[in-house]
Amino acid sequence: MILLQLLSATFGLYMLYWSFLVYKKRLIYIRELVFWAVVWVVFIGVSLLPDSTKLVLQTFKITRTMDLLMILSFMVLWLVAYRNYSDNRKIKRKLQDLVRQDAIKRAMEKKKK
Amino acid sequence: MKKIFVVIPAYNEEKRLPELIKKLRTYIPLSRMVVVDDGSKIKLENFLSKRVWVARHRVNLGKGIALRTGCDLAVKLGAETIILMDGDGQHDPGELPAFIKKLNHGYQVVFGARRLDKKMPVWRKWGNGFLNRTVAVLFGLNLCDVWCGYRAFRTNIYKKIIWDSSDYSSDVEMAVAVGLNKLKHTEHFVGTIYHDKESTTGTTLHDGLKLLIDLLFWRVQKI
């Protein structure tokens, strides 16, 4: 169990470091860094101290800490998936508008020449 | 006579498009033709007269988006009537006067409808039949060939029928908008030239299934 806990904590630490790197490259905003930092700190905390979730487990009638982690993971995954989907749609729409406007503009300019 | 423009979306049609333009010249001046080169590998303008309007997408965006670019350009150029044709030469330019005649009779939209002759591949006949019936049930629009890209409309209704689809389903979305807005429409039967039986540029079963989902979505959206 200790080995698995150590692995999880190392993974969490690495992800925390990665989030910081991504922020340093200005690919995410500070609020996003804070969100991910909280996610990974909680992950590390729960990995090292599984009993710390007792209160939450009792409140939500969840049997094991692992189950709680799975539920939270799915929630985060859905959030990220939806965010990716909506961002993709936004980028696609912007790209279409840009290419279309550019095509019309160049067609009209060519005729003027 | 209303200012008429023909809009032709095309992708890698350097072989068939010049022939189509040549045939079209009999019915409409070159300066009233708008070709949208949807990111072809070889620039289509190299094969066309300089008098034809060519709008080139830097990347391939799909037929629906190419049609919008073409229609937007035509409207900017003062078009009052737009005729849509496919760039692969499937549509006979000889039918053009019949479309214009029907518009002059007061119709706002004229849909082309391919005759169900022996030349049409069987799977297309079945697919089209099923699709036509689905559109009729969902939107009360009784068309013989809702997927035919050969059609004409007055530009004063363009904003009402504008479509979002980027692929072949834009033809159906446009027709659905005509039904929902109760625009005055009719059909004109056209002959179709099928170049190859296993064309990969046309619609596939996957497109058909995707379209069925879109139809249900549009129905729910417009309640």
A100 chain-B contacts, CB cut-off 8 A = 57, 61, 65, 68-69, 72
Residue-range definition of the domain harbouring residue B64: 4-221
pLDDT in tens, A50-72: 888 888 899 999 998 889 989 99
Give the residues across from B171 on adjacent strands. Answer: none
**C-beta separation of B99 from B83 below 8 A:** yes
A96 chain-B contacts, CB cut-off 8 A = 61, 65, 166
Asked if residue A44 and residue A68 are part of one domain, the reply reads no
Number of domains in chain A: 2
pLDDT in tens, B23-77: 999 999 999 999 999 999 999 999 999 999 999 999 999 999 999 999 999 999 9
Distance CA B208, CA B219 (A): 16
For residue B198, is pLDDT > 50? no
The DSSP string of B27-52 is: TS-GGGEEEEE-S-SS-GGGGS-TTS
Asked if residue A39 and residue A69 are part of one domain, the reply reads no
Asked if residue A33 and residue A5 are part of one domain, the reply reads yes
Cα distances (angstroms) measured from residue A106 to each of A100, B44, B194: 10, 14, 33
Q: Is residue A54 part of a domain?
A: no
Distance CA B37, CA B55 (A): 6
Q: Is residue A39 part of a domain?
A: yes
Residue-range definition of the domain harbouring residue A83: 64-113
| B74: nearest Cα among B60, B59, B57, B54 | B54
pLDDT of residue B200: 47
pLDDT in tens, B78-122: 999 999 999 998 899 999 999 999 999 999 999 999 877 666 777
Which run of H or E residues covers position A88?
A: helix A65-112
Domain containing B127 — which CATH number?
A: 3.90.550.10
Asked if residue A108 and residue A72 are part of one domain, the reply reads yes
Asked if residue A44 and residue A70 are part of one domain, the reply reads no
Which letter does DSSP use for residue A54 in this model?
H
Number of domains in chain B: 1
Residues 64-103 of A with CB under 8 A from B: 95-96, 99-100, 102-103
Best mutation target among A104, A108, A111, A113 (most B Cβ atoms within 10 Å) is A104
E runs forming strands in B20-169: 33-37, 53-56, 81-84, 109-114, 151-154
- Please indicate if any CB of chain A lies within 8 Å of the CB of B59: yes
pLDDT of residue B220: 87
Residue type, B74: A
Per-residue pLDDT of chain A (113 residues; tens, 9 = 90+): 689 899 999 999 999 999 999 999 999 999 999 999 999 999 999 999 988 888 889 999 999 888 998 999 999 999 999 999 999 999 999 999 999 999 999 999 887 76
Question: What was the ipTM of the complex prediction?
Answer: 0.84
